[in-house]
Amino acid sequence: MTHEPCGAMQFLLQADLDGELDVTGAAALASHLTNCDACSVLKVKLEAQSAQLRDNTSRYTAPASLRASVLARSLPAQLPLFRRLGRGWGHGVSFGAGMAVAASLATFVLLPHRSDNVPDIVAAHIRALQPGHLLDVMSTDRHTVKPWFDGRLDYAPPVADFAAGGFPLIGGRLDYVAGRPVAALVYRHDKHLIDVFVWPGDRTDPTETVQGYHVIGWTQGGMTYRAVSDLATADLARFAMLMQGS
């Protein structure tokens, strides 16, 4: 039994509460909850807060003129961010209720205390998305990617391919986080790219969303892992579970 909520599972719990979880994610979550007291307790807390907000939150209908004024002033500048954050919203939850629940869940899921270098992780991922920066070694073969790091780092990052699960390895690169070189493994899911930063150590495990990019962190085998992507939270959590299982 674990004592702290698991990073990947916090995203799945949120997706389940918002009605976004697919069959695969629901099965994985149900299986995990049978063995994890901390996540089971968190699930009960989130459900209770959601019910409290749904039952007790006052709702007001804004006049059409106010809505039109707000949209005219703010929507064009924020549209790219809304498109990223809006994926998956509206499935079983109204916009107003969804925003209320999101505000409630922020303490648990989206906005934890920043004791980690999450902004650096997100910045490195955004840099890598620029043309010519994503890959130093391009290969779907882990036996090609893993040896490429030999002599370039003072540690050997674990490398695995998850093509069978829908997350193929496409290569890797050297990157820098917190002033040190780290391994960045690159995966793809549909049209979305996932960076997994790996370095030795045992740091806090963040689960956070910054600028529309989701970050899931964990430590395993003496290594620190940070997965970042604009992928839907449930899919990124499923990918993190695959990595942890490998």
Q: Tell me the CATH number at 23.
A: 1.10.10
**Cα(155)–Cα(172) distance, integer angstroms:** 15
Q: Do 155 and 220 share a domain, yes or no? A: yes
Q: 61, 86, 110 — which closes off a domain?
A: 110
The ranges of the chain with pLDDT < 50 are 1-2, 75, 77-115
Residue 131: per-residue pLDDT: 85
Quote the Cα angle for 122-116-181, to 5°: 65
Q: Do 231 and 126 share a domain, yes or no? A: yes
Total domains in the chain come to 2
Residue 71: per-residue pLDDT: 63
Contact 140, 163 (CB under 8 A): yes
**Cα(91)–Cα(20) distance, integer angstroms:** 6
CATH code for the domain of 222: 3.30.200.100
Q: Do 147 and 239 share a domain, yes or no? A: yes
Q: Do 101 and 178 share a domain, yes or no? A: no
- How far is C-alpha 41 from the geometric centre of its chain's CA atoms? 21
Distance between the two ends of the chain, CA-based, in angstroms? 20
**Cα(207)–Cα(42) distance, integer angstroms:** 14
Strand order in the sheet with 137-138: 137-138, 169-177, 180-189, 192-200, 223-229, 213-220, 207-210
> Which residues, 6+ apart, have CB-to-CB distance to 175 below 8 Å?
124, 128, 181, 182, 183, 184, 195, 197
Residue 100: per-residue pLDDT: 44
Residues pairing with 185 in the sheet: 172, 196
Q: Do 140 and 91 share a domain, yes or no? A: no
Q: Do 106 and 138 share a domain, yes or no? A: no
Give a three-class secondary structure readout of the chain: CCCCCCHHHHHHHHHHHCCCCCHHHHHHHHHHHCCCHHHHHHHHHHHHHHHHHHHHCCCCCCCHHHHHHHHHHHHHHHHHHHHHHCCCCCCCCCHHHHHHHHHHHHHHHHCCCCCCCHHHHHHHHHHHCCCCCCCCEECCCHHHHHHHCECCECCCCCCCCEHHHCECEEEEEEEEECCEEEEEEEEEECCEEEEEEEEECCCCCCEEEECCEEEEEEEECCEEEEEEECCCHHHHHHHHHHHHHC
Q: Do 95 and 145 share a domain, yes or no? A: no
What is the domain range of residue 142?
118-245
Q: 56, 86, 110 — which closes off a domain?
A: 110
Q: Do 104 and 196 share a domain, yes or no? A: no
The predicted-structure confidence for 3-39, as pLDDT tens digits, reads as follows 556 666 776 777 777 766 665 666 677 777 777 888 8
Q: Do 84 and 138 share a domain, yes or no? A: no
Q: Do 58 and 141 share a domain, yes or no? A: no
Q: Do 87 and 56 share a domain, yes or no? A: yes
Q: Do 4 and 53 share a domain, yes or no? A: yes
Residue 37: per-residue pLDDT: 81
Residue type (1 letter), 78: Q
Q: What is the pLDDT of the chain when averaged over all its residues?
A: 77
Residue 14: per-residue pLDDT: 73
Residue 16: per-residue pLDDT: 75
Q: 91, 110, 129 — which closes off a domain?
A: 110
**Cα(217)–Cα(198) distance, integer angstroms:** 10
